[in-house]
């Protein structure tokens, strides 16, 4: 069984595409909305999704709240952002290989690519990013962070070859506002690293060799040592 969780806020331009990309392989869709004023919830219900509402604090809290609403189902979870979609290759892997995985496997990494203003980002050495977006319910949760949150599992992981595509169709002004918000959220996590005003949750791990763990270790252990004028 596969359950897809999508968090939404004014995503009427994206939600149908996200759902349709995995409709043939997903058994259940749970959309958790944080107060959309457009047709997001209406569209999601028309597509057969279960829609819940919950006030927004941050992504991690919202996603973990969604997990709690699923109870103790025997299901895999796909974390899918509203402005992402699953490629046909990944959808095929989900159909053919997900339920055949060893019982000791708790999570699956996939590759994620991004577009900017409808153009794929091809250079810069950062894509595809390997992200853990599939996991067994009860075996994983989202890091309790304000920015760049990842799913953590304790058991073994595998990797599928198919990809997620992040393709947001909003304007440049929206992008600017979004990344200003990202910067503010990043500051919260960096200040918490220094002053410890809330629990510290991290996937930082050099030994594991996973892309997200290595990048987080560098961010938390090397970046804070740089002089402030060098922190680009």
Residues 102-124 have pLDDT tens digits of 999 999 999 999 998 888 888 77
Whole-number Cα distances in Å, 153 to 3, 75, 212: 17, 15, 13
Q: Of all residues in the chain, what percent carry a pLDDT higher than 70?
A: 83
167-171's contacts with Cβ under 8 Å and 24+ in sequence apart are 167/83, 167/84, 167/85, 167/114, 167/115, 167/118, 168/14, 168/83, 168/115, 169/13, 169/14, 169/83, 169/118, 170/13
The two three-digit tokens of residue 106, written as one number: 């708790």
The two three-digit tokens of residue 128, written as one number: 């595809």
Under the banding of pLDDT at 50, 70 and 90, the label for residue 206 is very low
pTM higher than 0.75: yes
pLDDT digits (tens, 9 = 90+) for 19-44: 999 999 999 999 999 999 999 999 99
Domain definitions of the chain by residue range? 2-166, 172-230
Under the banding of pLDDT at 50, 70 and 90, the label for residue 208 is low
Class level of CATH domain 2-166? alpha beta
Q: Of all residues in the chain, what percent carry a pLDDT higher than 90?
A: 61
């Amino acid at each position: 069984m596969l359950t897809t969780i999508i968090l939404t806020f004014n995503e009427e331009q994206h939600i149908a595409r996200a759902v349709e990309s995995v409709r043939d392989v997903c058994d259940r869709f749970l959309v958790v909305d944080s107060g959309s004023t457009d047709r997001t919830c209406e569209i999601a219900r028309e597509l057969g999704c279960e829609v819940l509402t919950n006030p927004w604090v941050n992504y991690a809290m919202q996603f973990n709240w969604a997990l709690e609403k699923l109870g103790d189902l025997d299901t895999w979870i796909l974390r899918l952002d509203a402005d992402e979609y699953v490629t046909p290759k990944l959808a095929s892997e989900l159909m053919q290989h997900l339920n055949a995985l060893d019982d000791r496997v708790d999570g699956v990494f996939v590759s994620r690519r991004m577009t900017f203003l409808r153009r794929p980002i091809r250079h810069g050495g950062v894509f595809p990013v390997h992200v853990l977006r599939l996991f067994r319910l009860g075996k994983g949760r989202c890091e309790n962070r304000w920015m760049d949150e990842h799913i953590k599992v304790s058991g073994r992981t595998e990797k599928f070859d198919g990809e997620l595509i992040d393709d947001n169709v909003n304007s440049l002004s929206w992008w600017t506002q979004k990344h200003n918000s990202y910067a503010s959220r990043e500051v919260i996590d960096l200040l918490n690293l220094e002053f410890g005003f809330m629990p510290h949750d991290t996937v930082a791990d050099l030994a594991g060799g996973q892309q997200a763990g290595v990048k987080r270790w560098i961010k938390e252990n090397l970046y804070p040592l740089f002089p402030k004028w060098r922190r680009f």
